[in-house]
Chains A and B, each alone.
Chain A
Amino acid sequence: MKITKGHFIIGLLLLAALAAYPFFSGVVYTNLFVRFLIFALFGASLNLLLSYTGLLNFGHAMFFGVGGYATALLLEHMPNAGLLTALFVGASAGALLALIVSPMLVRVRDTAFALMTLALNQLLFIACLKLRGITYGEDGVGGFSIPPLNLFGLVSVDITHPYNFFYFSLCIVGLGLFLMWYTTRTPFGSIMIGIRDNPNRVNYLGFNLPFSKTVIFTISGFFAGSAGALFALFQNLVSPDAVMHIQNSFTAIIMVFVGGIGTFIGPIVGAAIMTGLENLAVRYTEKIFLFNGLLLIMVVMFFRGGFVGLYNLAKAKWGSK
C-alpha cells in the first residue's frame, strides 16, 4: 500500500482527535481510554505469539503481572526511582520471566504448550498469593508514590492527573505498538511466520528454532511487562486478582479473537471493542463472563476472522477497487 497525501492528512486528523480527546470526553472516559490503551498493548504482545508465531499462550497474564509487580515493588521500596526507570524495570521483569520460562516452553508444542503456559500462570498466581512477605498476599501492593515524569531535567509533569496520564500512556503504547509492528516487518518477523507455518523447515534452513522462540518470548514478555507496568502506574495498585489472574490471560485471547486473529491491528480493535462493550454491559448485567463466553463462541463459530475479517469481507464486497 502506497502512502498518499490523503493517508497523511487522515493520520494528522486522527492525531489531533486523540490529542483533543480528554477535553471533550471528561475524566471517566479518559480513564476508559487509558484502559483500552493498556489492553491494546497487552493484546498486541500476545498477538506476536498467537498470530505471528502460532503459539497459543494461555498464561500471558504472568508477564503482565510480573511487570506490574516489579514496577509497584520498585516504587514501594525506592520511591526516588524515576518514572521511566520504573516502567523499564517492569518491562524488563516481563522479559526476564520470559527468558526464565522459555527453556521449558520451547520444547513443547500445541496443546501441551497451551497447558504448560496455563500451569505456569497458575503457579505464579498462587506464588503471589502465598509469598506474603514480598507481595503482601491478596491485598497486593498499593498506595506507592508515583514519581513525576522528568524530561532531561527540563520539565517535570505530574502524571497522577488523568489527562497527563492519558498523554503519557498514549506515547508509551504508541511507541510499543510501533516497535512490535516494526519487528514483524524485519527478517526476524519472517522467521516468526515461518515457525507458525512450518517449524521443521525453519529448523532445516539453519535458524535455531529454540533460540528464535526464546527471542520471540522475550520480546512478547517485554511488551506485556510494560503493559503491566503501565497498569500498575494507572491503578496505583497491583493485586493477584487484578493482574496475575488467569482471567486476564483469557481477556487478552478474547481480544485477539474478537478483533481478528492473523492481523497486527486485530488485538487493538479487539481491545477497543471489548473495553467499550464491557463498559456498556456492566450497566445492565453482572454476568460479564456469560457475555464474554457467548461472544467468544459466536466469533469462533461464525466469524473466525474477527472484526477485521468482517471488515475485509465487507470491503471486498462493496468497496471500490
Chain B
Amino acid sequence: MKIPPSDRGTIMEGTAFILLTQGIHGISYGLVLFLAASGLSMIFGLMDILNLSHAYLFMLAAYFAFSIAQVTNFWVALLLAPLAIACIGMLLERYLIKPVHPFGHTPELVLTLGIGMVLLEVVKSIWGTTMLTVMPPESLQGFIPIGYLKYPVYRIFIIVFTIIILCGLHQLFRRTRFGTIVRAATVNSDMVSALGINVPRIYTLFFGFGTWLAGLAGVVVAPLLSVHPGLADQVGLDAFVVVVLGGLGSLWGAFVASILIGLLNTYGIQLIPTVAPLITFSLMVLVLTVKPTGLFGDRQ
C-alpha cells in the first residue's frame, strides 16, 4: 500500500503513541509488581525468609477486594483487605514459620510452599475458579487523552499510588523508630536484642507489614486484571523473578527490576508475541548466570 506523503507523519506519530502508551502500561504493571515484590524482598532482607506463599497472599487480597467491593466500595476494600492479609501474615509467621526457622532454608521453603498450596485450594473452594471482575471506583473509570489515544485514569492512579507508597516506605525507614530498629536488626539482630528490644515481635510485625504491601498490590491489581486462581502464578512468579533479579533483600534492586520486567512484558507481548512469556525467565537465568547475587544484591 502506498501512503501519501502528507499522511506519513500522522502514522509515524500513531505508532509512537502506541509505543508510549505501551510504555505507561509497562510502568504501571511494573509498579504493581514492585508493590508485590517489595514486601517479599524486605522480609528476606531482615529475616532471611523467602516466603513462597507471598504470591498466594497477594491473590487472596484480590479476592478479599472483590468481596468487600461488592458489599461496600473499592476504597473500603483498599483499606480493609490489606489489613486482613497482614493479620493472616502475622499469624502465619507467629505459629508456622517462626518455629521452623531455626532448621534452615529448606524446611522453610517447603513449609511456605505448603501454605501456598492450602491458600490456593481455600480460594478455589470459597470463590470457585471463574474469572471475577472488580470495577475501579467511578472517579477513576474515565480516560485522559494522550495525543490521539485515550488513556485509562486507573493506570495513572496506580502509578501515583505506588509512588506515594514508595515515598512512605522511605520515610518509614528513615524517620520512624520502627524503621530504625528494622534497619539495625538487618545489620545485627543480636545486638538489637541485647539493647532490650523484643526482636521476635519486631519480626512478626515486619512480616505483617510485608504481607500488607502484598495485600495492597492485590487490591490495586484486582480492577486491572481479572481475579482468578491463576493470578498467583501469573503475577506472583513475576514478583519472584523481580526479587531475585534485583538482588535478594535489595529494595532499590527490586524497584529497577520490576520496572524492567513490566516494560519487557508489555513490549514483548506487542513486538514478539510468541516468545513473550519466555522473556522474563530467560532474563533471570541470564542475569543469575553472570551475577549470582542479582543486579543490586550482595548475598544469595
Q: Within the complex, what minimum Cβ distance (angstroms) separates A60 from chain B?
A: 13
In Å, the complex CA distance between A127 and B276 comes to 11
Per-residue interface assignment for chain A, residues 284 to 321, with 1 indicating a CB less than 8 Å from any chain B CB and 0 otherwise? 00010110111111001100100000000000000000
Residues of the B chain whose Cβ atoms lie less than 8 Å from the Cβ of A123: 278, 281-282, 285
Residues of the A chain whose Cβ atoms lie less than 8 Å from the Cβ of B116: 293
B237 touches A294 (CB 8 A): no
In Å, the complex CA distance between A293 and B123 comes to 14
Given contacts A108-B300, A122-B237, contact A296 B111 (CB under 8 A): yes
Given contacts A257-B110, A289-B117, contact A118 B240 (CB under 8 A): yes
In Å, the complex CA distance between A292 and B298 comes to 35
The segment out of B9-17, B97-105, B258-266 that lies at the interface is B97-105
Residues of the A chain whose Cβ atoms lie less than 8 Å from the Cβ of B289: 103-104, 107
A111 touches B44 (CB 8 A): yes
Query: Is the C-beta of B87 less than 8 angstroms from some C-beta in chain A?
Result: no
Per-residue interface assignment for chain B, residues 90 to 102, with 1 indicating a CB less than 8 Å from any chain A CB and 0 otherwise? 0000001001100
B118 touches A297 (CB 8 A): yes
Nearest residue in A to B117 (C-beta to C-beta)? Answer: A293
A-B contact count (CB 8 A): 119
Of A56, A110, A301, the residue contacting B99 (CB under 8 A) is A301
Q: List 18 A-B contacts (CB under 8 A).
A: A111-B50, A111-B248, A111-B300, A112-B300, A116-B244, A123-B282, A127-B278, A261-B106, A287-B125, A290-B125, A293-B113, A294-B114, A297-B111, A297-B114, A297-B118, A300-B107, A300-B110, A301-B96
Per-residue interface assignment for chain A, residues 107 to 121, with 1 indicating a CB less than 8 Å from any chain B CB and 0 otherwise? 111111111101110
Residues of the B chain whose Cβ atoms lie less than 8 Å from the Cβ of A58: 109
Query: Is the C-beta of B277 less than 8 angstroms from some C-beta in chain A?
Result: yes
**Total count of chain A residues near the partner, CB < 8 A:** 40
Query: Is the C-beta of B121 less than 8 angstroms from some C-beta in chain A?
Result: yes
Query: Is the C-beta of A61 less than 8 angstroms from some C-beta in chain B?
Result: no
Query: Is the C-beta of A171 less than 8 angstroms from some C-beta in chain B?
Result: no
Residues of the B chain whose Cβ atoms lie less than 8 Å from the Cβ of A88: none
A300 touches B114 (CB 8 A): yes
Given contacts A127-B278, A300-B100, A301-B96, contact A108 B121 (CB under 8 A): no
Residues of the B chain whose Cβ atoms lie less than 8 Å from the Cβ of A107: 288-289, 292
A residues whose Cβ falls under 8 Å from a Cβ of B = 50, 54, 56, 58, 103-104, 107-116, 118-120, 122-123, 126-127, 130, 250, 253, 257, 261, 287, 289-290, 292-297, 300-301, 304
Among all A-B residue pairs, the 3 with the closest Cβ atoms:
A293-B117, A296-B114, A290-B121
Task: Tell me which residues from 207 to 261 in chain B have a Cβ below 8 Å from any Cβ of chain A.
Answer: 237, 240-241, 244, 248
Residues of the B chain whose Cβ atoms lie less than 8 Å from the Cβ of A111: 44, 50, 105, 109, 248, 300
Query: Is the C-beta of B46 less than 8 angstroms from some C-beta in chain A?
Result: no
Residues of the A chain whose Cβ atoms lie less than 8 Å from the Cβ of B107: 300, 304
Query: Is the C-beta of B194 less than 8 angstroms from some C-beta in chain A?
Result: no
In Å, the complex CA distance between A110 and B299 comes to 10
B281 touches A122 (CB 8 A): yes
Q: Within the complex, what minimum Cβ distance (angstroms) separates B284 from chain A?
A: 5
Nearest residue in A to B119 (C-beta to C-beta)? Answer: A293
A293 touches B285 (CB 8 A): no
Per-residue interface assignment for chain B, residues 70 to 100, with 1 indicating a CB less than 8 Å from any chain A CB and 0 otherwise? 0000000000000000000000000010011
Nearest residue in B to A250 (C-beta to C-beta)? Answer: B113
Q: Within the complex, what minimum Cβ distance (angstroms) separates B257 from chain A?
A: 13
Known: A111-B300, A301-B96. 6 other contacts (CB 8 A): A114-B50, A116-B244, A123-B282, A293-B120, A294-B118, A300-B111
In Å, the complex CA distance between A92 and B248 comes to 35
Residues of the B chain whose Cβ atoms lie less than 8 Å from the Cβ of A113: 300
Of A114, A116, A261, A290, the residue contacting B117 (CB under 8 A) is A290
Query: Is the C-beta of B197 less than 8 angstroms from some C-beta in chain A?
Result: no
In Å, the complex CA distance between A113 and B109 comes to 12
Of A114, A115, A290, A301, the residue contacting B111 (CB under 8 A) is A301
Nearest residue in B to A115 (C-beta to C-beta)? Answer: B244
Q: Within the complex, what minimum Cβ distance (angstroms) separates A121 from chain B?
A: 9
Given contacts A118-B240, A289-B117, A301-B96, contact A108 B111 (CB under 8 A): no
Residues of the A chain whose Cβ atoms lie less than 8 Å from the Cβ of B124: 287
Of B109, B118, B281, B294, the residue contacting A56 (CB under 8 A) is B109
Of B118, B241, B275, B300, the residue contacting A109 (CB under 8 A) is B300
Query: Is the C-beta of B172 less than 8 angstroms from some C-beta in chain A?
Result: no
In Å, the complex CA distance between A122 and B281 comes to 8
Residues of the B chain whose Cβ atoms lie less than 8 Å from the Cβ of A257: 110
Residues of the B chain whose Cβ atoms lie less than 8 Å from the Cβ of A126: 277-278, 281
Residues of the A chain whose Cβ atoms lie less than 8 Å from the Cβ of B122: 290
Most buried by B among A257, A290, A300: A300
Given contacts A110-B300, A122-B281, A296-B111, contact A290 B118 (CB under 8 A): yes
Most buried by A among B113, B125, B285: B113
Residues of the B chain whose Cβ atoms lie less than 8 Å from the Cβ of A290: 117-118, 121-122, 125
B241 touches A119 (CB 8 A): yes
Q: Within the complex, what minimum Cβ distance (angstroms) separates A37 from chain B?
A: 24
Residues of the A chain whose Cβ atoms lie less than 8 Å from the Cβ of B99: 301
Query: Is the C-beta of B31 less than 8 angstroms from some C-beta in chain A?
Result: no
Query: Is the C-beta of B130 less than 8 angstroms from some C-beta in chain A?
Result: no
Nearest residue in B to A101 (C-beta to C-beta)? Answer: B285
Most buried by A among B114, B115, B240, B300: B114
In Å, the complex CA distance between A130 and B237 comes to 18
